[in-house]
Amino acid sequence: MNTSAIAASGLRKAFGDKTVLDGVDLEVGTGTVFSLLGPNGAGKTTTVNVLTTLMTADSGTVRVAGHDVTTETKAVRAAIGVTGQFAAVDELLTGQENLQLMTDLKGLGSAEARRIIAELLERFELTESAQKPAATYSGGMRRKLDLAMTLVGNPRIIFLDEPTTGLDPRSRRTMWAIIRELVADGVTIFLTTQYLEEADRLADRIAVLDQGRLVAQGTPDELKRQIPGSHVRLRFAGSTELDAAAQVLGDAGRDDDNLVLRVPSDGGAKSVRALLNQLDDRSIDVEEFSVHTPDLDDVFLALTGRTSTEAAQ
């Protein structure tokens, strides 16, 4: 990491007597993707608001694109794009008009504005819907339009607050592809998410936020080394079957109360078939079977001893 696009240290923020950020330090290298992972209420949006000049912290320092957020607010704003958690599109305007609003705000000439709007509509697969009011757009289309609006003016540092929450798998993939394109262009991305998988796929570094504190920070691999890996969960009808299976597959992941055996596995068809064949060969019946990949809950359980649902309360 030679230069940092974002550097925050000792961020604190309270609303009344409720401490929301409790000493957050983070650094994001230029041209990298940083993901802030945390459950509802962890303080993700508050962090984004502070980093993007929308809110002032009670204490701590933030530099974005080399500028101080409190003393050089204008310079910071000129360098960044922000897509908030809730789509900022104007529902009464069409997709095209929403984008036009942004090109006007950025003071672009009409020829350039037309070119950029056409490009963005095309890139986000919104050309066909460009003349329809945004109120008629699906959630995914709105999110895409919102991000397209953020890209007007070509910001080099982009903040995305839960860009894929509530999107179906296809729209989520489209959003991931767009984020990767931005990164390939050298844009720095600060992304918040509740999905471990998303952070894992997109981010160079992940920080886990729990009640206003970073409880872990590192590359996706470093983080995953701290949490139990993916496994197959096998439930048996009785302890005889559980005993027999544990003899074959090892008893490290044995849970007698629930008659369950957890066996580390990549979850792929090949390894799962091999595993079931081993039991079949010995005529051990499996009552129930599921493949489990680690999610936010596993991260929280491993790092804090609480589930993310408990952490959110």
Ligand X SMILES: Nc1ncnc2c1ncn2[C@@H]1O[C@H](COP(=O)(O)OP(=O)(O)OP(=O)(O)O)[C@@H](O)[C@H]1O
* Nearer of residues 13 and 44 to Mg ion, judged by Cβ: 44
Decide if residue 42 touches ligand X (CB under 6 A): yes
Other beta carbons within 10 Å of 251: 13
Q: Which of 41, 60, 218, 229 binds ligand X (CB under 6 A)?
A: 41
Decide if residue 20 touches ligand X (CB under 6 A): yes
Q: Which of residues 125-164 bind ligand X (CB under 6 A)?
A: none
43 binds, among Mg ion, ligand X, none (CB under 5 to 8 A by kind): ligand X
HSE-up (13 A, CA, CB side) for residue 191: 31
Decide if residue 188 touches ligand X (CB under 6 A): no
Other beta carbons within 10 Å of 204: 16
Q: Which of residues 70-99 bind ligand X (CB under 6 A)?
A: 85
Q: Which of 19, 73, 85, 217 binds Mg ion (CB under 5 A)?
A: 85
Q: Quick check: 188 and 157 in contact, CB under 8 A? A: yes
Instruction: Pick the piece of the chain touching ligand X (CB under 6 A) from 37-45, 215-223, 226-234, 238-246.
Output: 37-45
Decide if residue 60 touches ligand X (CB under 6 A): no
Reference 213, options 304, 295, 305; nearest CA is 304
In the complex, which residue's CB is closest to Mg ion?
45
* Nearer of residues 176 and 195 to ligand X, judged by Cβ: 195
216 binds, among Mg ion, ligand X, none (CB under 5 to 8 A by kind): none
Reference 261, options 225, 288, 299; nearest CA is 288
Residues 6+ apart with CB under 8 A from 188: 5, 6, 28, 29, 30, 31, 32, 33, 34, 156, 157, 158
Decide if residue 38 touches ligand X (CB under 6 A): yes
Positions that interact with ligand X (CB under 6 A):
15, 20, 38, 40-46, 85, 194
